[in-house]
A and B are shown apart, each in its own frame.
Chain A
Amino acid sequence: MKRLLKGGRVIDPANGIDGVRDILIDGDRIARVGTNLPAVDASVVDLAEGLVVCPGFIDMHVHLREPGQEHKETVATGTASAVAGGFTAVACMPNTNPVNDDANVTTYILDKARQANLARVYPIGAVSRGSKGDLLADIADLRKAGCVAITDDGHPVKTAILLRRALEYAGMFGMPVIEHCEDPSLKGDGVAHEGFYAASLGLRGMPGACEALGVERGVLLAELTGSAFHVAHMSARASLRAVRKGKDGGVRVTCEVAPHHFTLTDEALASPVPYDTNTKMNPPLREAADRDAMLDGITDGSVDAIATDHAPHHYDEKQVEFDRAPFGIVGLETAVPLSLDRLVHTGRIRLSRLVELLSVNPARILNVGGGTLSEGMPADITIVAPDMKVRIEAAKLRSRSKNTPFDGWELRGGVAATLVGGRPLFVNSEARISL
């Protein structure tokens, strides 16, 4: 089947395109990109003015929870959430049960993804067996089975020597090591950012330095090994400083920031709902200076990617005392509206930069396909409606879990449609589009 997307503003930074173009999709591929393409035997989709056609967004930090925690999320529900949020692909973290430290687990996840047949799934394997930090996982096996990177996410790699070995070994395959940066002793039993709000609410704190120590360690080891090191869910201004220093020195370091870390601050711990467990995540919501630093890093190019750290948790698990609640919030279906509203409409970045953050750079960092609308590539396409009014409603999320602090937020900008391999898997009924 052929489909001609006509009259949309196409943003394809990899090919230097930002302008009105037609895109001809033939089967699962992009056949042609150009102006005034003839319809011939294709069905024509006339895109309303204002709709923006982008290479499919890739969320490089997602917890799909399967196997083992299917009450929170499954590969099927998580990828349904992904396409509803404008993501044509997700990279899923290995802290499942069992841990994805074994090719059989990778294969299991990919089988589930094939059955669901929604967003593409790129599994990320564990650095160490059981993510326990003692012995390296069978990284070559994991890669062969389909893993695109390794991490012990949820925790930092236990020792500097193991992180060094992981960087060296994974570097052999060109796989990046993704690190949850944190000094465990400084974190202690902290549940919130160490600052005024945690102090006044009586919550145990963890300072930004706790994260930055982990970033510094990783940057030094990336320099030592020459391998690619990626900082997951960066939140602290001291971490950004370390990343910039590394980049300036030619170290292969990249980083991602989650939407909650460029929108919210630790003030959300106290209001509107005090002790709302949907404001509890790790790394925590930090103070305004950190949030502003993340915005600056996104603006000046120091930040490479926006990734959600989509962390579904069941209602029962969050309906407890703050210090007993698990860390994390869902993010797949709120990331694009938050990014458009807080980054593009505030004038901080242009749409083309947002496409780099959500598509081009994640594809590059993970060495996976996508990130462009080049002819011959799979037709993974996100169509954005930058001026659509969006109201976040937790109860309506496709994710199996509804743990979001953004319930009720009204934002400008949303996803009009998501196509994976040419198939329209999500079409927003509130956008002026029919596919």
Chain B
Amino acid sequence: MNATVHGLDPSVTITTLRSKDLLGIADLTPVEINLVLDTADAMKEIASRPIKKVPALRGKTVVNLFFEPSTRTRTSFEIAEKRLSADTLNIAIATSSVVKGETLADTAMNLEAMRPDMIVLRHSSSGACHLLSRICRSAIINAGDGMHEHPTQALLDAFTIRERKKQLKGLKVAIVGDLLHSRVLRSNILLLTKMGANVWVCGPPTLMPTEIARFGVTATSSVDEAVRDADVIMMLRIQLERMEGAFFPSLREYFNVFGMTEARMHLARPDVMIMHPGPMNRGVEIASEVADGPYSVILDQVANGVAVRMAVLYLLAGGAEHEEAA
């Protein structure tokens, strides 16, 4: 596998990530992002084998520590870990001692005492992974922290785009929806702008982060403007409880103003890709005809998620260097 994993662009000379953790896209360089994506290329092939397992993480212990409900991300990480032969265990909030009032720091220190190699953390508080990173020697992988980052989602999105469009540079990517509360948005903005894409973000002003222009994107509340000639349209989930915060009047009105319909989609380039990180609210941010239509790559994103997470796990475990040592 080494040969394939390292069959990189000759200009790329790195084979591992600089940090012990993956806390966010903010910490990655474009070269590192390419390394992850190239490694994921090699990992994706494993899914097509009759025996979908390689020994890369044999003897490594990975803890999936999930303080928020998650089906897709947790399953994706677990499959990725198992395909790399890691020993995995899942801790969900309901079964942990957090219900007894233990702090995150104490939970982390107790886990750490059992010497895991990696901790995959999903938490509702922004920065929870940074707290863990300061406490733990294990590699921390951010599987989504509050409204901050969801780096593996952005990496799998980039992988999916690159698969179709060959490169990210110069593409017009429109991201539409609840920008304010979205960690997927923050990670995607960081990644796409680092890789030279032309990022447009669109949503109601009530759901737009402060000083969004400083993120290097073009912001608009006109969907038509955002999606016109777009190569990629990324829809973000609208959380149903946002109505109560008076961010918008009703789901019906939201769909009328911001929902992705076929008519709006046709303003984009003819080879547009429609993406969604899930879970979708059909008929709220996206019409079913679009979600299930020929331009949708939503299920490709899910499939690629496993390969990208395998790449991240592999690289943080030390990549080829670790394998050779073993």
| Stretch of A194-202, A352-360, A396-404 lying at the B interface | A194-202
Contact between chains at A321 and B211 (CB < 8 Å): no
Expressed in whole angstroms, the minimum distance between the Cβ of B79 and any Cβ of chain A is 27
Contact between chains at B210 and A322 (CB < 8 Å): no
Question: Which B residue sits closest to A198, measured CB to CB?
Answer: B210
The distance in angstroms between the C-alpha atoms of A26 and B103, with both chains bound, is 55
Expressed in whole angstroms, the minimum distance between the Cβ of B241 and any Cβ of chain A is 13
Contact between chains at A196 and B211 (CB < 8 Å): yes
| Stretch of B141-149, B163-171, B265-273, B305-313 lying at the A interface | B141-149
Q: Cβ of A296 < 8 Å from any Cβ of B?
A: no
Expressed in whole angstroms, the minimum distance between the Cβ of B244 and any Cβ of chain A is 12
Question: Which A residue sits closest to B145, measured CB to CB?
Answer: A202
The distance in angstroms between the C-alpha atoms of A275 and B26, with both chains bound, is 14
Q: Cβ of A320 < 8 Å from any Cβ of B?
A: yes
The distance in angstroms between the C-alpha atoms of A322 and B215, with both chains bound, is 22
Contact between chains at B211 and A202 (CB < 8 Å): no
Expressed in whole angstroms, the minimum distance between the Cβ of A188 and any Cβ of chain B is 8
- Residues in A whose Cβ lies below 8 Å from that of B147: 202-204
Mask: chain B, 203-214; 1 = CB below 8 Å from A; 0 = not: 000000111101
The distance in angstroms between the C-alpha atoms of A205 and B209, with both chains bound, is 9
Contact between chains at A275 and B130 (CB < 8 Å): yes
Contact between chains at B103 and A200 (CB < 8 Å): no
Q: Cβ of B74 < 8 Å from any Cβ of A?
A: no
- Residues in B whose Cβ lies below 8 Å from that of A275: 126-127, 130-131
Q: Cβ of B120 < 8 Å from any Cβ of A?
A: no
Question: Which A residue sits closest to B214, measured CB to CB?
Answer: A196
- Residues in B whose Cβ lies below 8 Å from that of A274: 127, 130
Known: A194-B210, A196-B210. Contact between A202 and B126, CB under 8 A? Answer: yes
The distance in angstroms between the C-alpha atoms of A39 and B298, with both chains bound, is 89
Neighbour of A319 across the interface among B105, B123, B183, B214, CB < 8 A? B105
Neighbour of A323 across the interface among B130, B146, B183, B215, CB < 8 A? B146
- Residues in A whose Cβ lies below 8 Å from that of B145: 202
Mask: chain A, 196-226; 1 = CB below 8 Å from B; 0 = not: 1011111111000000000000000000000
- Residues in B whose Cβ lies below 8 Å from that of A321: 104, 123, 125, 127-128, 131
- Residues in B whose Cβ lies below 8 Å from that of A198: 210
Neighbour of B210 across the interface among A205, A316, A319, CB < 8 A? A205
Question: Which B residue sits closest to A321, measured CB to CB?
Answer: B125
Q: Cβ of B186 < 8 Å from any Cβ of A?
A: yes
The distance in angstroms between the C-alpha atoms of A123 and B300, with both chains bound, is 65
Question: Which A residue sits closest to B104, measured CB to CB?
Answer: A321
Q: Cβ of A71 < 8 Å from any Cβ of B?
A: no
Q: Cβ of A144 < 8 Å from any Cβ of B?
A: no
Neighbour of B127 across the interface among A195, A199, A201, A316, CB < 8 A? A201
The distance in angstroms between the C-alpha atoms of A198 and B210, with both chains bound, is 8
Mask: chain A, 317-349; 1 = CB below 8 Å from B; 0 = not: 001111110000000000000000000000000
Contact between chains at A320 and B105 (CB < 8 Å): yes
Contact between chains at A195 and B210 (CB < 8 Å): yes
Contact between chains at A199 and B103 (CB < 8 Å): no
Expressed in whole angstroms, the minimum distance between the Cβ of B21 and any Cβ of chain A is 12
Contact between chains at B103 and A323 (CB < 8 Å): no
- Residues in A whose Cβ lies below 8 Å from that of B211: 195-196, 199
Contact between chains at A322 and B125 (CB < 8 Å): yes
Interface size class of B (residues with CB under 8 A): 20 to 34
Expressed in whole angstroms, the minimum distance between the Cβ of A194 and any Cβ of chain B is 5
Contact between chains at B149 and A202 (CB < 8 Å): yes
The distance in angstroms between the C-alpha atoms of A323 and B127, with both chains bound, is 9
Contact between chains at A322 and B186 (CB < 8 Å): no
The distance in angstroms between the C-alpha atoms of A200 and B227, with both chains bound, is 24
Contact between chains at A199 and B212 (CB < 8 Å): yes
Neighbour of B126 across the interface among A194, A195, A319, A323, CB < 8 A? A323
Expressed in whole angstroms, the minimum distance between the Cβ of A417 and any Cβ of chain B is 38
- Residues in A whose Cβ lies below 8 Å from that of B128: 321
Contact between chains at B105 and A202 (CB < 8 Å): no
Question: Which B residue sits closest to A324, measured CB to CB?
Answer: B125
- Residues in B whose Cβ lies below 8 Å from that of A195: 210-211
Mask: chain A, 167-206; 1 = CB below 8 Å from B; 0 = not: 0000000000000000000000000001110111111110
Q: Most A CB atoms within 10 A — which of B105, B130, B210?
A: B210
Question: Which A residue sits closest to B181, measured CB to CB?
Answer: A202
Question: Which B residue sits closest to A193, measured CB to CB?
Answer: B210
Expressed in whole angstroms, the minimum distance between the Cβ of B134 and any Cβ of chain A is 8
The distance in angstroms between the C-alpha atoms of A282 and B105, with both chains bound, is 24
Question: Which B residue sits closest to A320, measured CB to CB?
Answer: B103
- Residues in B whose Cβ lies below 8 Å from that of A322: 125-127
Contact between chains at B103 and A316 (CB < 8 Å): yes
Q: Most B CB atoms within 10 A — which of A200, A203, A205, A320?
A: A200
Contact between chains at A320 and B104 (CB < 8 Å): yes
Question: Which B residue sits closest to A316, measured CB to CB?
Answer: B103
- Residues in B whose Cβ lies below 8 Å from that of A201: 126-127, 148
- Residues in B whose Cβ lies below 8 Å from that of A194: 210
Known: A321-B127, A321-B128, A323-B125. Contact between A199 and B209, CB under 8 A? Answer: yes
Q: Which of B120-157 contact A (CB under 8 A)?
A: 123, 125-128, 130-131, 134, 145-149
- Residues in A whose Cβ lies below 8 Å from that of B214: 196
Q: Which of A272-294 contact B (CB under 8 A)?
A: 273-275
Expressed in whole angstroms, the minimum distance between the Cβ of B205 and any Cβ of chain A is 14
- Residues in A whose Cβ lies below 8 Å from that of B183: 202
Expressed in whole angstroms, the minimum distance between the Cβ of A249 and any Cβ of chain B is 32
The distance in angstroms between the C-alpha atoms of A316 and B102, with both chains bound, is 11
The distance in angstroms between the C-alpha atoms of A161 and B146, with both chains bound, is 38
- Residues in A whose Cβ lies below 8 Å from that of B130: 274-275
- Residues in B whose Cβ lies below 8 Å from that of A199: 209-212, 215
Q: Which of B154-200 contact A (CB under 8 A)?
A: 183, 186
Expressed in whole angstroms, the minimum distance between the Cβ of A138 and any Cβ of chain B is 37
The distance in angstroms between the C-alpha atoms of A202 and B127, with both chains bound, is 8
The distance in angstroms between the C-alpha atoms of A319 and B145, with both chains bound, is 17
Expressed in whole angstroms, the minimum distance between the Cβ of A375 and any Cβ of chain B is 55
- Residues in A whose Cβ lies below 8 Å from that of B123: 321
Expressed in whole angstroms, the minimum distance between the Cβ of B96 and any Cβ of chain A is 15
User: 15 additional contacts, CB 8 Å, given A194-B210, A195-B210, A198-B210?
Assistant: A196-B214, A199-B210, A199-B212, A200-B215, A201-B127, A202-B126, A202-B127, A203-B127, A204-B147, A274-B130, A275-B126, A320-B103, A320-B105, A322-B126, A323-B125
- The chain A residues found within 8 Å of chain B, CB to CB, are 194-196, 198-205, 273-275, 316, 319-324
Q: Which 3 A-B pairs have the closest CB atoms?
A: A275-B127, A202-B148, A202-B147
Q: List 30 A-B contacts (CB under 8 A).
A: A194-B210, A195-B210, A195-B211, A196-B211, A196-B214, A199-B210, A199-B215, A201-B126, A201-B127, A202-B126, A202-B127, A202-B145, A202-B148, A202-B183, A202-B186, A203-B126, A203-B148, A204-B147, A274-B127, A275-B127, A319-B103, A319-B131, A320-B105, A320-B131, A321-B125, A321-B127, A322-B126, A322-B127, A323-B126, A324-B125
